[in-house]
Structure 1
């Protein structure tokens, strides 16, 4: 399924670094969540993470028209189409989840940390995040703490990549 979706995204010029979060990663996150939470997925892709993580309210920010059509079919509420233009503070949810484009992970992570109107944030980001001053500053400004639930990679993922993540 992922291969077909990636082919369609590439053909339509809408491949914005969509790498579906692996089942292993999603299982770790789900094990940390309480049931039926409301979740906003920033860069939601085809919605598989939202479907797996909660039976509660599901919201998405997604740029690709094709992926938005898949989200719509699944009954996922689209709250924005451009992450950089979206304001997160007015979207009150229990959890914000994001597996961002890794070429922009520090900017996405720091924006989410600063603007999130949620109790919890789950980010699937490169292990090098610990060296990011942008992320460190956002955590400090928010007065929160970061906790690594696990480390993994995308070598055997539906769409393989070399990234090592926390």
Structure 2
């Protein structure tokens, strides 16, 4: 497994953040062709959330995907819906374990969930828990929780897609 370095995470975030509106829309159109299951998963997973939560979720997704594309290049495989469903179920199960865990078992489960892409997950956490006050984003705890599961699933699925490509080379 290769960890995406913090400088690539930062560069991807700045690049996506500085896209003009027209280019951002084109980027979404491209993603609908290159990673249709991922885009559908994010859109469907956030459809019951507020408009601002949906927009933030889509934005974070575009940034995270750009991080993986920047790091992996054209080698990144297309994520399939079955992988997303399997990973989401595993993550939801882990979250339930965390919610009911005693102190002794909490730390190992939490650490296992945080491994993989620490800098990407740090970005996701900061975007969800510390949104830009200038943007006026105010998410409920439920929206933060739902978007956290969606983004963790996306990151894990992209990690699998990157690893499966490196194993076939």
Please indicate the TM-score interval, normalised by the length of the shorter structure. Answer: under 0.3
Q: Which is richer in helix?
A: 2
Q: Which is richer in strand?
A: 1
Q: TM-score, normalised by structure 2?
A: 0.25
Greater C-alpha Rg:
2
Structure possessing the higher relative contact order (Cα contacts under 8 Å, 6 or more residues apart): 2
